[in-house]
Structure 1
Amino acid sequence: MSELIQAVTAVLSNLIEPKLKWSLGSLNLIKEVQVHDHKLRLKIDLVTDDENLKAQFQDQVFQALTDFNFAEIDLTLDRVNVARQGLEGIKHVILVGSGKGGVGKSTIATNLAAILKLRGHSVGLMDADIYGPSIPILMGITKEKPQVLDDEFLQPIEAHGIKTISVGSLVPADKAISWRGQLVSGTILQFIRKINWGDLDYLIIDMPPGTGDIQLTIAHELKVKGVIVVSMPQQVVIGDVKRSLDLYREKQIPVLGVIQNMVSYQCECCGSQQTIFPGVEEQLAGVEQIGSLSLKPDLCKAGNEGIPYVLKNQSDEIYQEFERIAIQLEKRLETGLIFPQTVPEN
Structure 2
Amino acid sequence: MIMENQTLAKLGNINEPYLGKTLKELDALSFADKLMTITLPYPAKGNEAAISQAIRQIIGEDSHSQIAFEYQIRPSARVSAEQPGLANIKNIIAVSSAKGGVGKSTVTANLALALQAEGAKVGVLDADLYGPSQAKMFGIDDLRPEINGDKIKPIKAHGIEIATIANHITREYTPLIWRGAQLDSALKTLLFNTEWPELDYLVIDMPPGTGDVQLTISQQIPVSGAVVVSTPQEIALLDAKKGLKMFHQVDVPVLGVVENMNMFICPKCGHEEHIFGHDGAQLMSLQYMVNFLGSLPLDKRIQEETDSGKPTVMAEPESKIALNFREIARKVASALYIQDSQAPVVPQTEEQLKAQSSNQKTIQWNI
- Asked if TM exceeds 0.5, the reply is yes
Q: After superposition, what is the alpha-carbon deviation per residue over 1:20-46, rounded to whole angstroms, capped at 9, x for unaligned?
A: xxxxxxxxxxxxxxxxxxxxxxxxxxx
* CA shift for structure 1 position 174: 1.8
| Structure ID, larger Rg | 1
How many Å apart are 1:137 and its aligned residue? 0.5
Show the counterpart of 1:292.
295
- Tell me the SS of whatever aligns to 2:238: helix
Cα 1:278/1:251, change in 2 over 3 Å = same
- Cα offsets for 1:21-73 (capped at 9, x unmatched): xxxxxxxxxxxxxxxxxxxxxxxxxxxxxxxxxxxxxxxxxxxxxxxxxxxxx
Deviates more, 1:331-340 or 1:207-216: 331-340
Please tell me whether the aligned partners of residues 153 and 195 of structure 1 are also in contact (alpha carbons under 8 angstroms): yes
Q: Which residue of 1 aligns with 2:203?
A: 204
Deviations 1:95-115, CA, capped at 9 Å, x for gaps? 000111010011000001111
CA distance in 2, matches of 1:338, 1:329: 14
Specify the SS of the correspondent of 1:259: strand
Identity %: 37
Say whether residues 1:319 and 2:301 are aligned partners. no
User: Following the alignment from structure 2 to structure 1, what is the Cα–Cα distance between the partners of residues 188 and 144?
Assistant: 19
TM-superposition CA deviations, 1:276-329 (whole Å, max 9, x none): 122661651323210100011111110111012111112222111111111112
- AA aligned to 1:305 is S
Could you tell me how far apart the structure 2 residues matched to 1:215 and 1:283 are? 25
**Partner of 2:155 in structure 1?**
157
SS across alignment from 1:163: strand
Mark the CA change 1:268 to 1:193 in structure 2 (over 3 Å): closer, same or farther: closer
**In structure 2, distance between residues paired with 1:148 and 1:266:** 45
Q: Does 1:93 align with 2:92?
A: yes
Q: Partner of 2:266 in structure 1?
A: 267
Task: Give the 3 Å change call, closer, same or farther, for CA 169–274 of structure 1 in structure 2.
Answer: same
Q: Residue by residue, what CA displacement relative to the aligned partner does 1:107-147 show, whole Å, maximum 9, x if unpaired?
A: 00000111111222111000000100001100000111111
How do 1:111-130 residues align onto structure 2 when only pairs under 5 Å count? 111-130=110-129
Which has the larger displacement, 90-99 or 323-332?
323-332
Partners in 1 of 2:226 and 2:278 — Cα distance? 25
Would you say the 8 A contact 2:262–2:278 is kept in 1?
no
Backbone CA RMSD of aligned residues: 2.0
Q: CA deviation at 1:337?
A: 6.0
Alpha-carbon distance between aligned partners in 2 of 1:294 and 1:338, rounded to the nearest angstrom: 33
Q: Is the 8 A contact 1:234 1:280 kept in 2?
A: no
Q: Which has the higher contact order (CA 8 A, sep 6+)?
A: 2
> TM-score scaled by structure 1?
0.70
Question: For the residues of structure 2 that align with 1:263 and 1:254, how far apart are their CA atoms?
Answer: 25
- Counterpart Cα distance in 2 of 1:91 and 1:268: 41
Matched residue, 1:215: 214
Q: Which amino acid aligns with 2:158?
A: H
Conservation of the 8 A alpha-carbon contact between 1:238 and 1:283:
no
Which of 164, 167, 186 lines up with 2:165 in the alignment? 167
- For structure 1, the residue ranges without an aligned partner over 5 or more in a row are 1-84, 341-346
> Equivalents in 1 of 2:180, 2:130: separation in Å?
11
Indicate the residue corresponding to 1:256 in structure 2: 255
Contact residue 257 and residue 339 of structure 1 kept, 8 A: no
Partners of 1:288 and 1:339 lie apart in 2 by: 15
Amino acid at match of 2:87: E
Deviation at 1:339, TM superposition (A): 11
What one-letter code is carried by the residue in structure 1 that aligns with 2:159?
G
Q: Which residue of 2 aligns with 1:304?
A: 307
8 Å contact from structure 2 (residues 125, 202) kept in 1? yes
Work out whether residues 130 and 184 of structure 1, in 8 Å CA contact, stay in contact via their aligned partners in 2.
Answer: yes
Hey, what does 1:17 align to over in structure 2?
none
